[in-house]
Structure 1
Amino acid sequence: MSYILGYDPDTLREKVDVRRCRDRLDEIGEQRSLPSMLERVWLLKVLDRLDDALALSEESVRVARMGGTRKDLLRARILHATILQYRGAFAAAEQELTTCATEAEGQEWNAIAAFAYQHRGKTFYDAGDFSLARADFKRALFLRQEAGTPDDQLESTLLAIDAADRRRATAPLAG
């Protein structure tokens, strides 16, 4: 059962069951496994506890670097970058996500590359660059399709492309 109830069509942020997220956070407690740490980071992020999420995401990157696989490290770095994005550090988030996407594509880890592009697109979207956001969402969609992602799981990417198109159409022209 998912904690995500849907996605906000304007912000592209997850709509979550707050009570279930809090309950799960309490249930996990201070477990030190990398999967538990990454889940806690995500829960803290969607509960808008960004300072706690940032500290734990930095720690999870260190743990992944010391004892995880390269895929684990990429996942931890991508999640860390999403915390930076939520905090408004768009340039830092974009740089980290670009590095992660490039490495994942080089290894032909399409699902991880798609995850990085989706979040880099969200970073561009939050920063107001809807053309670059759309390009990243389209790349994420292609990679997810290549990875065999079921159609019902492509919803967030399709929603993001639509939102970027709407924003591009209504954004004032630079002049």
Structure 2
Amino acid sequence: MYQIDDHTLREVLDDRSAAEHRVRVLTQAPHTDDLRAVGERVSLLRILGRLEEAEELGRRAVELTTEDGRPRLAASLRLAHVLQWLERFHEADELFTRALTEAAALRDDALLAFAHQHYGKSLFDQKRFAEAEHHFGAALELRERVGAPADQARSSRQALTAARRALQ
């Protein structure tokens, strides 16, 4: 559905109309209050550049998760990613930092890797390349340790390469 741009580390859609169609499908029952569907919609709206909608839905997703733990943390990370794209870095980084602490407390290395990866992308957008490199490296190490899917490890390697290139 998308590729990651080597220079911006942002998703670039392969087929915008397919993404728009998927968003429409996810706005219909039974998907409207399904947390996974809402999360997918937040991500697609962000990638489509519909950032205000993504933020509003992202906040709703956090509210939909009535208990702490993995679902709420994943929703918070998606919201932080939207705030990053809105260049509201202070808010985004606050959520990313909290997510790192919470994922570590949950002993959820897969989620911790996700938090490192996306915090790194926020730092990368802020041109804080050394810090981004650190987080991408941590994400890659965790992903390799837990046997994450190949595309996730590849994404961390790609981000690490971009941060190192930016430091030169």
Bucket of the pairwise TM-score, normalised by the shorter protein: over 0.9
For residue 140 of structure 1, what is the amino acid of its counterpart? A
Match in the other structure for 2:61: 60
Q: C-alpha deviations, 1:43-83, integer Å up to 9, x for none?
A: 1000000000000000100001x2x5610000000000001
Alignment RMSD (CA, Å): 1.2
**1:30-49 equivalence runs, <5 A:** 30=28, 31-49=32-50
Match in the other structure for 1:173: none
**1:86-125 equivalence runs, <5 A:** 86-125=85-124
Match in the other structure for 2:72: 73
After TM superposition, give the deviation of residue 150 of structure 1 in Å. 3.4
Match in the other structure for 1:134: 133
SS in 1 for 2:12: strand
Contact 2:120 2:136 in 1 (8 A): yes
Asked if 1:28 is matched to 2:26, the reply is: yes
Match in the other structure for 1:172: none
For residue 104 of structure 1, what is the amino acid of its counterpart? A
SS in 2 for 1:52: helix
Match in the other structure for 2:154: 155
Name the % identity: 34
For residue 12 of structure 2, what is the amino acid of its counterpart? K
Uncovered stretches (5+) of structure 2, i.e. residues with no partner: none
Q: How many residues matched?
A: 164
Q: Write the distance in 2 (CA, Å) between the matches of 1:35 and 1:108.
A: 22
Which deviates more from structure 2 when the two are superposed, residues 142-151 or residues 123-132? 142-151
Q: Write the distance in 1 (CA, Å) between the matches of 2:6 and 2:151.
A: 17
For residue 21 of structure 2, what is the amino acid of its counterpart? D
Point out 4+ residue stretches in structure 1 off by more than 4 angstroms: none
Change over 3 Å in CA distance of 1:49–1:113 after alignment to 2: same
Q: Write the distance in 1 (CA, Å) between the matches of 2:150 and 2:56.
A: 35
After TM superposition, give the deviation of residue 106 of structure 1 in Å. 2.0
Using the size of structure 2 for normalisation, the TM-score is 0.93
Contact 2:143 2:152 in 1 (8 A): no
SS in 1 for 2:60: helix
Which deviates more from structure 2 when the two are superposed, residues 23-32 or residues 45-54? 23-32
Using the size of structure 1 for normalisation, the TM-score is 0.89
